[in-house]
């Protein structure tokens, strides 16, 4: 804020406070394009197994351990979606988190929750449902819907357990 004010103050020293404030807000948020990052968490439960059909059972067990169990296992996934955009001078928002939540629920969690990630999900078909691959697939699903809000997807962070998560920031 202070840095921004220093940049624009010379141009508005002659304006009254009443006029200066809206102009200040407009220029800080729009012209100087201050970007802010906001995050929404959503949750889903799902089953999967990690299994490479080209490998022997021994090799699958050696590489994937318990995750290779042929009769599946489940995780309580936590998904953190971060978007970035300028702060709108009228609302003080960069995006309405209700809109972000609706997009995530409609396009991701309703399709994944209580499902088998190896078998039930159209956008994961033919894919090893590791946390890495699921996070990348979620990014691809969300991108057009976040773009439509006039903001950008910054990161998809997917927690498979309390201690293990992956984060995808898109292609560099
Ligand atoms: Ni697993």
Q: Count structural domains, the chain.
A: 2
The whole domain housing 87 covers: 36-168
List the shell of residues around ion ligand 1, using CB closer than 5 Å.
67
3-state secondary structure 73-110: EEEEEEEEEEEEEECCCCCCCCCCHHHHHHHHHHHHHH
Q: Verify that 99 and 52 share a domain, yes or no.
A: yes
Question: Ligand 1 center to residue 129 CA distance, Å?
Answer: 9
Torsion of CA 156, 157, 160, 163, to 10 degrees: 170
State the average pLDDT over residues 74-100: 95
Q: Shortest CA distance to 50 belongs to which of 137, 163, 114, 134? A: 134
Domain co-membership, 12 together with 88: no
Do residue 141 and residue 103 come from a single domain? yes
Mean pLDDT for the chain overall: 87
Q: What are 18-72's pLDDT values in tens digits? A: 555 666 656 555 545 689 999 999 999 999 999 999 999 999 999 999 999 999 9
Q: Do 83 and 11 sit in the same domain of this protein?
A: no
Distance 27 CA to ligand 1 centre (A): 48
Per-residue model confidence (pLDDT) at position 160 = 97
| pLDDT score of 74 | 96
Q: What is the pLDDT of residue 8?
A: 44
Domain holding 134: CATH number?
3.30.479.10
């Amino acid at each position: 804020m202070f840095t921004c004010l220093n940049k624009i103050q010379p141009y508005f020293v002659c304006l009254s406070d009443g006029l200066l404030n809206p102009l200040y807000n407009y220029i800080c948020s729009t012209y100087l394009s201050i970007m802010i990052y906001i995050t929404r968490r959503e949750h889903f439960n799902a089953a999967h197994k990690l299994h490479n059909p080209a490998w022997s059972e021994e090799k699958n067990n050696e590489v994937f351990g318990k995750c290779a169990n042929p009769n599946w296992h489940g995780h309580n996934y936590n998904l953190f979606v971060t978007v970035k955009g300028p702060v709108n001078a009228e609302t003080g928002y960069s995006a309405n988190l209700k809109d972000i939540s609706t997009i995530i629920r409609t396009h991701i969690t309703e399709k994944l929750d209580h499902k088998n990630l190896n078998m039930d999900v159209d956008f994961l078909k033919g894919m090893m449902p590791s946390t890495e691959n699921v996070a990348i697939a979620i990014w691809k699903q969300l991108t057009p819907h976040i773009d439509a809000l006039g903001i950008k997807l910054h990161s998809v962070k997917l927690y498979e357990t309390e201690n293990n998560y992956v984060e995808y920031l898109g292609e560099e």
